[in-house]
Amino acid sequence: MADNASQSCRTCLAAIDSDGDELMLSSSGGAFSVLARRIFDLDGVVYGHAFDDGLHVGCVRAENLDGLSAMRGSKYVQSDMGDAIASVGCDLRAGREVLFSGTPCQVDGLLAFLGGPQDGLLTVDIVCHGVPSQAFFVDCMGEEFSDRLLSLRFRDKREGWGCGGGATILHAGIEKNVPFSPKISYYYRRFLAGDVYRESCYRCPYAGGERPGDFTIGDFWGIDVGGSGLDARRGISVVIANTAKAETLIPYIKSETSWAERPLEEAVCGNDQLMHPSPRPESRDVVFERWKEEGIGVLEDEYRRSTLLSSKKWLAKRAVKRFLKGVFGR
């Protein structure tokens, strides 16, 4: 674990990336991109998580902003660390500045491997409520999209700041964008219901004030929008400086964002994962037993049938909203 400053003296920022294009592609307020830009300015490298081979999510390395784009956006599935930890070690030994971002357990794993915090290494842990395995994800996506899926976004700001995304599929030989939302996706619904995470996530030791990263970043869900004076429509990041190293970067973050200093309690109150691990619902056993015995197709079918009416209503409402937005531009 990082040598955390006491909770009361940590700077807690609500921040929105001043680069509007990057902000639109980020899940929250773009804090990750802001920190990455700083490291690239120092000729450093950035590690983050991306779809690296079809539906496989893994830890990847970027030397510049082009490489960063695949890392942007939350992928709600366990990411494969591959040989990233050893690669970070090589970069540090070569004298490169390194930013490593990931779930708190990944950051802690990296620090354990390196023997603790290192000069030249900046770590960013994301607020995390748990991850399903890649096996469950791939099985669900295979059922939902068969082999038509070209790309997937769990969060898409064109749908507003929230848990709605989109997919690009191949339909009759033509690329088509379709919504990807808990309203219509069994996988996304189960992810938000929290009953398909890995067992260890329900006992997560990082879901509290003791954080492994120099920074903790997440969605500032609980923000008092009026009090902060910030525009929440395109997302706001919570940025918590856990260490002295992180505190030195606060002036830089302020220079690159619209920001407001907020009480840490405000961030914690709006975000259960800064207080305790996700509770383990009893339905987890049922889902996993049925997945094993009956297969994902049966569960998906059941979900589709039970949500047929509500999903049709939601799709119709969404179409009207998008039509009006097209006509009135808002």
Ligand X SMILES: Cc1cc2nc3c(=O)[nH]c(=O)nc-3n(C[C@H](O)[C@H](O)[C@H](O)COP(=O)(O)OP(=O)(O)OC[C@H]3O[C@@H](n4cnc5c(N)ncnc54)[C@H](O)[C@@H]3O)c2cc1C
By the criterion CB under 6 A, which residues form the site for ligand X?
26-33, 48-49, 57, 71-77, 79, 101-103, 126-129, 131, 217-219, 237, 271, 273
Return the structure tokens found at 223: 């923000």
Can you say how many angstroms the Cα of residue 134 is from the centroid of all Cα atoms in its chain? 15
Is 132 a binding residue for ligand SF4 by CB under 6 A? The answer is no
Closest to 37 (Cα-Cα) out of 220, 255, 329, 191 = 255
CA atoms within 13 A on the CB side of 115: 3
Cβ proximity to ligand SF4, 49 vs 157, nearer residue: 49
Cβ proximity to ligand SF4, 17 vs 108, nearer residue: 108
Return the structure tokens found at 106: 């990944």
Q: How far is the CB of 198 from ligand X (least distance, A)?
A: 11
x/- binding map, residues 47-86, to ligand SF4, per CB under 6 A? ----------------------------------------
Task: Provide CB contacts within 8 A for 182, sequence distance 6+.
Answer: 163, 164, 188, 189, 191, 192
Residues in the chain: 330
Is 103 a binding residue for ligand SF4 by CB under 6 A? The answer is yes
x/- binding map, residues 181-210, to ligand SF4, per CB under 6 A? -------------------xx--x-x----
Backbone angles phi, psi at 14, to 5 degrees: -95, 125
The C-alpha atoms of residue 29 and residue 72 are separated, in whole angstroms, by 11
Cβ proximity to ligand SF4, 202 vs 252, nearer residue: 202
Q: Which positions touch ligand SF4 (CB under 6 A)?
A: 103-105, 128, 130-131, 200-201, 204, 206
